[in-house]
Amino acid sequence: MYRYQEFGQEKKKYLPWKLFVGSFVFVLLCFGFYFFSENYYVPKLKKENQVLKDEINSLSKEIDLKERQEVIKFWSQIRNLETLLASHIYVTKLLEKIEALVPQEIKFRTLRINLEGGFIEIEGVGKREEVARYVVALEESKEFFDVKLGRVEEENFSLKANFDPELIKF
């Protein structure tokens, strides 16, 4: 027990000094960082900022008001065009994919494209084997999913398939 008490006393004896020295080093580092940033880094950033402001002001003096207004008008037209293109629907790619997958023996009577719902409805004429191949081709393609074959009577058929919305974006 005597050793344990000695050991405990040593720990108590050195603990405040270690804490004090560690805190002192931390405070010195914080002060050093503050001193460096306040005397060297912040003035450098302010100087760079002033140089950029001066350059911007000199450029604005070189361009007259009419040209600036034309540039702003042109810029706003470009932004409007980008907005329109982002919302533009491009159905041609969808029709190309449908055409690439359909066998020659199948003829369409009706092709309905629901852009909001993201699906197509097809009514057509074709042999059952060809219709089955077409359904499999639609299911295996990455652009179409959830293909549902509707009525199949003699050579008439109907089907509904969802398509990838990215397919119709510009």
Spans of all domains in the chain: 2-62, 91-168
Q: What is the pLDDT of residue 48?
A: 92
**Which of the four pLDDT bands, split at 50, 70 and 90, describes residue 1?**
very low
Give CA–CA dist 165/116, Å, rounded.
9
What's the token pair of residue 28? 């010195």
Evaluate whether 166 touches 145 at the Cβ level (below 8 Å): no
What's the token pair of residue 7? 């050991």
**pTM of the complete model beyond 0.85:** no
Of 75 and 56, the structure prediction assigns the larger pLDDT to 75
Cα separations in angstroms, 30 against 17, 26, 36, 44: 20, 6, 10, 20
20-45 pLDDT, tens digit per residue, is 888 899 999 999 988 888 888 888 98
Q: Which CATH number fits domain 91-168: 3.40.1160.10, 3.30.1360.100, 3.40.50.2000, 3.40.50.620?
A: 3.30.1360.100
pLDDT at 83 over 90: no
